[in-house]
Structure 1
Amino acid sequence: MQDALSWGQIILGIAARLVPVWIGLIAVFALSFTFKRRLGLYGRIFDSPVGMIGFAMVMFWVFVACFADIIITHDPLVQLSGMKNIVPGSPVKGMEGAYYLLGGDHLARDVFSRVIMGAREVLKIAPAATVVAFMVGITLGLPAGYIGGKLDTAISFGSNLVLAFPVILLFYLLVTPEIRDTGIPIVLAAILFIFPVIFLTILFNSRFFTNPKQRNIYVGVVLVIGLWAYSGLAFNADPLGVWSMDPNVLNVFVSVVFVNSPGVFRIVRGMVMDIKTRDYVAAGQTRGEGPWYIMLWEILPNARGPLIVDFCLRIGYTTILLGTLGFFGLGVSPESPDWGSTINYGRRLLAIAPHPAVVPALALMSLVLGLNLLADGLREESMKD
């Protein structure tokens, strides 16, 4: 019979499984340090110790998600006989040389493998949903702040309605089966997912308006690919089956976008109202540049620093919200290895077996901490512009 591993052996075993992650981190840092003076704000992260530490923590989990299939030691959904609530480092019965490095949960599943796969579940939704939320917020916030008037009043009123509602309760309502059956998430997806297409279309149209041939190419590509993706993601109607989203994932994704968009809108609107009074904006108006060109190519680039910082922070908030949903059993699926669900399953046995809850909780904390440190580093460097 195999002996259980000591904590030293467990740590070495985990470090060995993470070799692809270490290689990825070394490669990224080596290239970034070599070319940091050519990489703008990203390169200046490496002049900030806080930003660099945060970047390393975030990239660690990014690489874990990318290489999860070769890092895990067991299928995160498979239950093995005799491994229920087993302590870290325990050998797997009937499998020579196999161990549960971080123990087993209440269903005899490998905690280490579930935490690793949980990183993929989190990073599959949080960044993409935040990007869509930013496109919604920017598309509405730019004209609201620049044009003002009744348009600003109407959009701000709708934004305030969403912001006034308790976030957790709003999430709970949007992802419950009863709301799902009404078709509201599909309606929200149809509305929210069209904004990236609108944003990119206006972006290229305003930039290349004086060059119709080049404009038609860019706008045409955006419309073809964008509407193709839109049909698949929003309505699951892609005839080629390239773009699709599981109904549970769609509900969570739409909820994240819907809740985050008003906050982005308020930030963009406020910054536009300040920047539009600058001299270079007045110069653009004097040259006869169109409103959307001024908003997207004069004002928005000068607001990029605070928006990048908020983007990092918002991914952290979204990660916490996803963990909260999973904790309440409202995540992407009941058997999903996402960190919130894993913490929920493990909390019931904290007194006798703390590792199933503590390990994913530490993983969630480290990712959010990394995002916050990265945002602090970006804020520090962006203020030097």
Structure 2
Amino acid sequence: MSITENKTAAKIIRRRTRFEETWRQFRKNQGAIVGTTLLVFLATLALAAPLAAPEGLDDQHLGRRFQPPSRENILGTDNLGRDILSRIIHGSRLSLSIGFITTSIGLVAGGSLGAIAGYYGGHRDQVIMRFMDIILAIPGFIFAVALVTALGPNLLNLMIAVGLNSIPYFARIIRSSVLSVKEEEYIQAARVIGCSNGWIIARHVIPNAFAPILVQATLRIGDTIIIAAGLSFLGLGAQPPLPEWGAMLSAGRQYLRDAWWMATFPGIAIMITVLAFNLVGDGLRDALDPRLKS
């Protein structure tokens, strides 16, 4: 076996060992396992929504309006006779998609800006980070409300607004990681052999910031789902008849006394989903933090 092949095999073994160690630490956290199980269940439910849901997302039966939970309709029906369980299952697609898409927007844009600010420093760092501070000075929900109001109330604009609101969080994390590694010897060696700044950032800097990015992204998904649900609750997000959980909460609030199930079960769905992401994020943080490893 050649020297190159030996080095490649050694890298594979190190990566496998690192993954196995992280997984071993992750499995010790019972809350993280519960969260992972819930997320797998929700993702499966979302992917198989047309098959798992008893009815379509907007099948109306006016003759059975405001039916309480029963054997025929496990979670009851709403003011238009639609099966709430079916709408929650179909709504899981929307809520999970919103969480992943908006977090991806913040991760890509914020990660790029944070890497540039930390690596180059100087005026670029000052301009970028002061702009991030301005965004962070505005409460996240108010910032999203202002953007959606300016762009127009619909699902696409909601995702843009919530995604832009996530940018500063990732920018600050990646910038701090870049500042801690850019003066390391292997970075200096890469510069000496003529590697471009973009290659160094993509190949050496970003991978070393992977752990905090992964934890922040997992936790941020839960936050974006709550913000999106709040915007839909105010009528600034998903529009009828889309079964977004926040919009379902908004539709059921006026019937709380007579049909409590209309708002209760979508609220429970939001709570369980956000809890699952938070449990997984906490588990990843503990598993990836070397200070917490025995």
TM range (shorter): 0.7 to 0.9
The residue number in structure 2 matching 1:65 is 46
The TM-score normalised by the length of structure 2 is 0.87
Q: Note the C-alpha offset of 1:275.
A: 2.0
Structure 2 CA distance for partners of 1:254 and 1:41, relative to 1, 3 Å? farther
Q: What is the correspondence of 1:99-178 to structure 2 with a 5 Å cutoff? A: 99-176=72-149
Amino acid across the alignment from 1:51: A
Q: Report the equivalent of 1:283.
A: 189
| Counterpart Cα distance in 2 of 1:337 and 1:57 | 20
Q: By how many angstroms is 1:285 displaced?
A: 2.9
Q: C-alpha distance in 1, partners of 2:190/2:56?
A: 58
> C-alpha separation between the residues in 2 aligned to 1:306 and 1:150?
26
- One-letter amino acid of the counterpart of residue 82, structure 1: G
Could you say which residue in structure 2 is the equivalent of 1:359? 265
Q: Within 1, Cα distance between the matches of 2:282 and 2:112?
A: 26
Q: CA RMSD in A?
A: 2.1
Deviations 1:85-108 (A, max 9, x none): 111016xxxxxxxx2121011222
- Return the offset for 1:42: 7.1
Report if aligned partners of 2:107, 2:170 keep a CA contact under 8 Å in 1: yes
- Tell me the CA shift for residue 69 of structure 1: 0.3
> Are the structure 2 counterparts of residues 357 and 37 from structure 1 closer, same or farther at C-alpha, using a change threshold of 3 Å?
farther
Matching residue of 2:151:
180
Aligned to 2:274: 368
Paired residues of 1:37 and 1:43 also in contact (CA < 8 A): no
- How far 1:166 moved relative to its partner? 2.4
Taking a change above 3 Å as real, the CA distance of residues 53 and 37 of structure 1, as seen in their structure-2 partners, is farther
Give the direction of change, closer, same or farther, for the CA distance of 1:323–1:74 in structure 2 (3 Å limit).
same
Question: Hey, what's the Cα distance between the residues in 1 that align with 2:280 and 2:211?
Answer: 13
How much identity, in percent, do the aligned residues show? 33
1:73 alignment partner, SS class: coil
The unaligned stretches of length 5 or more in structure 2 are: 1-15
The equivalent residue for 2:158 is 252
Deviation at 1:120, TM superposition (A): 0.6
Q: Report how far residue 37 of structure 1 moved.
A: 6.7
- SS of the equivalent of 2:154 reads helix
Paired position in structure 1 for 2:5: none
Q: CA deviation at 1:40?
A: 5.3
Q: Which amino acid aligns with 1:167?
A: G
SS of 1:59's equivalent in the other structure is helix
Residue pair 2:177, 2:208 contacting (<8 A) in 1 also: no
**Matched residue count:** 275
Report the Cα distance in structure 1 between the residues aligned to 2:55 and 2:48, rounded to whole angstroms.
Answer: 14
User: Which of the numbers 42, 54, 57 marks the counterpart of 2:35?
Assistant: 54
Q: 2:56 aligns with which of 75, 94, 97?
A: 75
**Contact 1:41/1:378 (8 A) holds in 2:** no
Partner of residue 256 from structure 2, selected from 350, 367, 371: 350
SS of 1:311 mapped into structure 2: helix
Say if 2:105 and 2:164, in contact at 8 Å, map to a contact too: no
Q: Distance in 1 between matches of 2:231 and 2:54?
A: 27
Q: Structure 1 regions of 5+ residues with no counterpart?
A: 1-35, 91-98, 182-246
Pairwise CA distance, 1:132: 2.2
Output the TM-score relative to the length of structure 1.
Answer: 0.67
Superposition pairs of residues 189-228 of structure 1, within 5 angstroms: none
Q: Which 10-residue stretch deviates more, 255-264 or 163-172? A: 163-172
C-alpha distance after superposition, 1:276-329 (max 9, x if no partner): 233332333333332222222112111111110000001010010111011111
**Matching of residues 323-342 of structure 1 within 5 Å:** 323-342=229-248
